[in-house]
Chain A
Amino acid sequence: MNEQNTAPILEVRELSIQFGGLRAVDGLNMRVKKGQLYGLIGPNGAGKTTVFNMLTGVYKPTSGGIFLDGVSITGKSPVEINKSGIARTFQNIRLFKAMSVLDNVKVGMQNQTKYTTIEGILRLPRYFKEEKQMTEKAIELLKVFELDGEQAALAANLPYGKQRKLEIARALATNPKLLLLDEPAAGMNPNETAELMETIRFVREKFDMTILLIEHDMKLVVGICEELTVLNFGQELAQGETSAVLNDPKVITAYLGD
């Protein structure tokens, strides 16, 4: 670990949040380097999703700082944080269900278009040009996830595994620097999980992406994560390279009990 050489793309310093009397996350420190596949694991209720919600601005941290590429994004709104380059998926899938698969991805691309609402209503040339570009790019992205055959289908009508993939595609459509995946393998069978691992690896290569993920499926964690942070009751239990962390007696105790 030559931390001096590679500046982290995401740095979390002493991050804490308190809900009433409950300190859901307490003094978390984390450094995710560019291009890394980083895992955030821990037993149920450890505060993993809360960390994601703070990273994406859904919750405002009580104290501590979040830095993306060295710039503080602490306490910014979800929209601003997405603009500065973080995209995410959700533990309970949140697609735009009554919209088509293609439109779901195009909504994600909105931040890269320039035409105004007036230009859209009057159907000026820029509308056609940018809509065409968007559609082409969206179809390309759907092909990566093998969803291009279903682009006209409603998102709600996709099978579960494909909904998860579509959510990742939509997040990538916003052109992020850092992708947060909240339990991408939840509810998937072993075959689907294996396929998902391939997809995540492929996404990292193709889009040169840094990925931070929450996962319970240990096979997936061991298979793709290079570094881990283990949370327990809101506190950091262990941190470091995957194999070392998973053999740490503290971690084993937290998962399996004494």
Chain B
Amino acid sequence: MRKQTKNNLITFIGTAVVFFGLAALSQAGQLNNKINGMLVLIGIYVILAVSLNLTVGVLGELSLGHAGFWCIGAYVSGTVSLILQNSPNVAVPDWLRFTAALIAGGIAAAVFGVLIGIPVLRLRGDYLAIVTLGFGEIMKSLANNIYLVMDNNGLHFGFTQAPELAENSEGAKELLRGPIGMSAPQDTNIWIVTVVLLICLAVLMMFIDSKSGRACMAVRDNYIAAQSVGINVTKFRLMAFTISAAIAGIAGGLYSHSISLLAAKTFDYNKSILILVFVVLGGLGSLRGSIIATIILYALPELFREVGQYRMLIYAIVLIGMMIFNNAPFFIQLRERIGASAPVQRIKGMFKRDKKTAGGAE
């Protein structure tokens, strides 16, 4: 088997085992409330981190507005869900409504990805970082000011203030309430998050390990050389950026269906940076690294809540520690030595035989 295929399989199976295991434990009531509450969010952050890794790690473009795509996905999918739920003459089963809402969230985010990408990805340099930075803030402010009311006359839309309703209005229901936010139905649970996470992970792996992914990496490594071998640079950049945005939108859909009150102020600049920190510390271009870093870096500050004010101090130390672990020569050598050590080799030896029989494919 090829090295990359094997690596992908290990990552995929490992993620599946960890998340399905946690979901089962949670279902069996073996986890305390704090961890239970965190599971869904960890899953959502993992999806966000792996999707951002496509833009930052594989494509080599800095994006500082991933929370913006997350926000679009959350609002669009939440709204779709609320509309379908509150329409008197539409009867869809819950699972179908939720699926449609997630897809709508992904599509909406992808559309914005294309709109931003078409002008910006033609340019070389740090323009994407600047534009996405502004984009994230704009999306947050827009979401913060949208009002949407549904009554027997249909949908009423208001910006910065609630819309005025007609005299014969009946059964008015506020779907979006500006800064107060929205309350989408609570459909998300850890099982669904795990399944969506695995699907997104598979899509990303397949994309990266195909000619399109290779093209993106070629553009990242050398723009001029990529053009000289006939790669349509803008097309592949746009493609990767859009996929990244769409997956963030789907994560947004999961998010809006997981919390009782969704407010736009959640999706601020700090969230974009938080996700970027997961990606950078996990290793650019490494999906496995992003997953591990997200779990560690998201869980730690929550688990250390007991130590109160020292929490962020510990977090900072962990960040520095991870940076050193990733890059210091001593640790790189140590990792290689562990890889070459007797027990690890023995474990590898157990798999040797099937490598020989299944090899030759490449």
Contact digits for A102-123, partner B, Cβ 8 Å, 1 yes 0 no: 0100111011010101001111
Which B residues are CB-close (under 8 A) to A120? Answer: 206-207, 210-212
Q: Which one of B24-32, B78-86, B157-165, B226-234 is at the A interface?
A: B226-234
- List A132-190 residues whose CB lies under 8 Å from chain B: 132, 134-135, 152, 170-171, 173-174
Check if A78 sits within 8 Å of B227, measured CB to CB: yes
Q: Assuming A78-B227, A123-B206, is B239 touching A103 (CB within 8 A)?
A: no
B214: interface (CB < 8 Å): yes
B224: interface (CB < 8 Å): yes
Contact digits for A86-98, partner B, Cβ 8 Å, 1 yes 0 no: 0110100011111
B124: interface (CB < 8 Å): no
Check if A79 sits within 8 Å of B231, measured CB to CB: yes
Q: Which of A78, A82, A99, A113 contacts B211 (CB 8 A)?
A: A113
Q: Residue of B at shortest CB range from A96?
A: B221
Which B residues are CB-close (under 8 A) to A152? Answer: 3
Least CB distance, B204 to chain A, in whole angstroms? 9
Contact digits for A61-83, partner B, Cβ 8 Å, 1 yes 0 no: 00000000000000001110011
Q: Residue of A at shortest CB range from B222?
A: A94
Which B residues are CB-close (under 8 A) to A251? Answer: none
Check if B207 sits within 8 Å of A107, measured CB to CB: no
Check if B214 sits within 8 Å of A94, measured CB to CB: no
Check if A56 sits within 8 Å of B285, measured CB to CB: no
CA distance A228 to B229 in the complex (A): 26
Q: Which of B215, B224, B225 contacts A110 (CB 8 A)?
A: B215
Which applies to chain B's interface (DSSP): helix, strand, loop or mixed?
A: helix
A224: interface (CB < 8 Å): no
B362: interface (CB < 8 Å): yes
CA distance A170 to B233 in the complex (A): 17
Which A residues are CB-close (under 8 A) to B217? Answer: 96, 98-99, 103
A238: interface (CB < 8 Å): no
Check if A111 sits within 8 Å of B210, measured CB to CB: no
Which A residues are CB-close (under 8 A) to B212? Answer: 117, 120
Check if A79 sits within 8 Å of B232, measured CB to CB: yes
Interface hub of A121, A152, A170 (most chain B Cβ within 10 A): A121
Interface range on chain B (Cβ under 8 Å from partner): 20 to 34
Q: Assuming A94-B225, A95-B222, is B203 touching A121 (CB within 8 A)?
A: yes
Least CB distance, A100 to chain B, in whole angstroms? 9
Which B residues are CB-close (under 8 A) to A113? Answer: 211
Q: Which of B221, B222, B228, B362 contacts A78 (CB 8 A)?
A: B228
Interchain pairs with CB closer than 8 A, number = 95
Q: Residue of B at shortest CB range from A90?
A: B225
Check if A121 sits within 8 Å of B227, measured CB to CB: no
B54: interface (CB < 8 Å): no
Which B residues are CB-close (under 8 A) to A97? Answer: 221-222
Least CB distance, B72 to chain A, in whole angstroms? 22
Check if A87 sits within 8 Å of B210, measured CB to CB: no
Which B residues are CB-close (under 8 A) to A173? Answer: 229
Q: Which of A79, A98, A127 contacts B230 (CB 8 A)?
A: A79
Check if B210 sits within 8 Å of A107, measured CB to CB: no
B102: interface (CB < 8 Å): no
Check if B362 sits within 8 Å of A107, measured CB to CB: no
B108: interface (CB < 8 Å): no
A254: interface (CB < 8 Å): no
Which B residues are CB-close (under 8 A) to A127? Answer: 210
Check if B229 sits within 8 Å of A106, measured CB to CB: no
B218: interface (CB < 8 Å): yes
A58: interface (CB < 8 Å): yes
Which B residues are CB-close (under 8 A) to A170? Answer: 229
Check if A111 sits within 8 Å of B230, measured CB to CB: yes
Interface hub of B210, B211, B227, B232 (most chain A Cβ within 10 A): B211
Which A residues are CB-close (under 8 A) to B221? Answer: 95-99
Check if B206 sits within 8 Å of A122, measured CB to CB: yes
Which B residues are CB-close (under 8 A) to A171? Answer: 228-229
CA distance A174 to B228 in the complex (A): 9
Least CB distance, B50 to chain A, in whole angstroms? 15
Check if A174 sits within 8 Å of B218, measured CB to CB: no
CA distance A132 to B233 in the complex (A): 24
CA distance A78 to B230 in the complex (A): 7
Check if A99 sits within 8 Å of B230, measured CB to CB: no
Q: Which of B214, B224, B233, B239 contacts A107 (CB 8 A)?
A: B214
Check if A96 sits within 8 Å of B227, measured CB to CB: no
Check if B214 sits within 8 Å of A87, measured CB to CB: no
Check if B211 sits within 8 Å of A83, measured CB to CB: no
Check if B207 sits within 8 Å of A117, measured CB to CB: yes
Check if B229 sits within 8 Å of A108, measured CB to CB: yes
Which B residues are CB-close (under 8 A) to A79? Answer: 227, 230-233
Contact digits for A6-28, partner B, Cβ 8 Å, 1 yes 0 no: 00000000000000000000000
Q: Residue of A at shortest CB range from B202?
A: A121
Q: Residue of A at shortest CB range from B232?
A: A79
Which A residues are CB-close (under 8 A) to B207? Answer: 117, 120-121
Apart from A79-B232, A117-B207, what are 10 other A-B pairs with CB-CB below 8 Å? Answer: A79-B230, A79-B231, A98-B285, A106-B211, A107-B214, A108-B229, A115-B210, A120-B210, A132-B362, A173-B229
Chain A contacts to B: CB under 8 angstroms: 56, 58, 77-79, 82-83, 87-88, 90, 94-99, 103, 106-108, 110-111, 113, 115, 117, 120-123, 127, 131-132, 134-135, 152, 170-171, 173-174
